Structure 1
């Protein structure tokens, strides 16, 4: 495992831990130009953004763009980012006539920085509250990394059988289980996740520079083209969120066994994963997930990193569109 992570001093200890985190891609226009010429408070029409309020009183920020009568595509970001993670995909699908919706997970981005509820059950319940508030039907739910875990729990618990969910996509996603256990020998050891916790508690701002600079986008590879703006945008999104939510979220993405969630998913499911993912290694996640869902397809991207939705947005967007339209 050590060969997957860059070697640095104290900073490296934090980064090596971070390399196992299920963090999500950040917004970018890489390759995009070629593709473009429940209990809630008030909801304000289409082509807007706003807040809903969950049953336990948490304000969740969301974006809702496009015609309300179009098929909705719902994007679920991961740790420690925000709905801005999906800028390249939201603009792409908006240009194709779809309704695109994304929210900031509780404690992340512009959502309320509450102390509690940073676990997959609450993540999925919050997503359900949003879906109900906007009355989304026949939606395609796309989740990256931790967001993939959120999609799996949401679809399994709230989306079936109903008219709410049409398809699901898991991109570089954490299920079925990140942590190494006796029954999951291919997982990552607890020491890795403890390293992330130390990074958040001791110097979150530096951790959020080190992580995107290194394994998240594969910028630590010898032939990588490094984009400073991408690193800065990752940092911006991360630092908008709550340290408490980020700290507790490590347990959520690393220790939640979602085997049964995956087994329960009956809608067509696309699993997308890079084989050079240094953050969520493919063998114990993507390759296992596709075997557990009932109607799954695995698409492997040779040499692609964890943040491939940003670094290879043109390729990923085209493949997502094909799946959505199939």
Structure 2
């Protein structure tokens, strides 16, 4: 097991974790906004026990990676990831992305992974593609006022905003009858506050306004698409259902009642389904 840093072409240091046998098939995890690779603890430990090599990195400006002032966009997110995977010489990898990390997976797989012959399969979990914001091409998207509200709340009091997101819609803790897991809220808040406010602010544009229609169409590897129908962050009818139509080789599963944060609060279900897909 190891950790380390890779320096990208523009001098950004990207932190990564690399656990497990070097000759085992890699499963690579791409985290959501505004978190870090720590959000994948439940998956990395599970798949490590199943005999896989597991890898995750902190996106630029997030977690332990450099708090740089530029490059907070999907192109840099994907090229940073590519630098890590080239450094580790990962081949035949399965790439799993959650939320913004799903956008990173789509851009990486389409523009770096498939051309380099490094990708076997992909998994998109409550992922943001093709685009979250309302546009002429996607009139069912969310109005820009939603994302402007995110920016205003982050600028006004990032700590309070992050607490509100984690304790409310992210895990569905605002729903009647749902058990509120305070340590889960605390861990989400910890990860967010470790990163850069600038990266998080700029990242709102990246995850909401990047049109990834072309990326999805270019993802010719088998792709598992997972989302909960009670996702209050990324509406599933504008996300996973559209992804499944655009992807050349997609398997779609929508979980009744599951939240955006289902990878944590429903890890047993998600891990089993991802494992079955990887081994199929």
When normalised by structure 1's length, the TM-score is 0.85
2:84 aligned residue: 130
Which residue, 111, 118, 127 being the options, matches 1:157? 111
Give the superposition deviation at 1:202: 1.0
Shift of 1:160: 1.4
Give the structure 1 partner of residue 139 of structure 2: 185
1:1-326 → structure 2 map (5 Å cutoff): 47-326=1-280
| Corresponding residue SS for 2:168 | helix
Structure showing greater relative contact order (alpha-carbon pairs closer than 8 Å, 6 or more residues apart): 1
**Structure 2: how far apart are the matches of 1:185 and 1:247?**
24
How far, CA to CA, are the matches of 1:166 and 1:182 in structure 2? 34
Moved over 4 A (4+): none
Structure 1, unmatched stretches of 5+, are 1-46
Secondary structure at 1:140's aligned position in 2?
Answer: strand
Shift in Å, 1:182: 2.3
Q: Secondary structure at the match of 1:215?
A: coil
Other structure's SS at 2:95 match? strand
Partner secondary structure for residue 160 of structure 1: helix
Quote the RMSD (CA, aligned, Å).
0.6
State the shift of 1:187 in Å: 0.5
TM-score, length-normalised on structure 2?
A: 0.99
Residues of 2 paired with 1:292 and 1:183: CA distance?
14
Give the secondary-structure state (helix, strand or coil) at the position aligned to 1:108: coil
- Separation (CA, whole Å) in 2 of partners of 1:126 and 1:113: 14
**2:167, 2:140 → 1: CA distance?**
26
1:5 aligns to what? none
Mapped to 2, the partners of 1:216 and 1:59 lie a distance apart of 29
- Residue 54 of structure 1 and its aligned partner are, at CA, apart by 0.5
**Structure 2 match to 1:24:** none
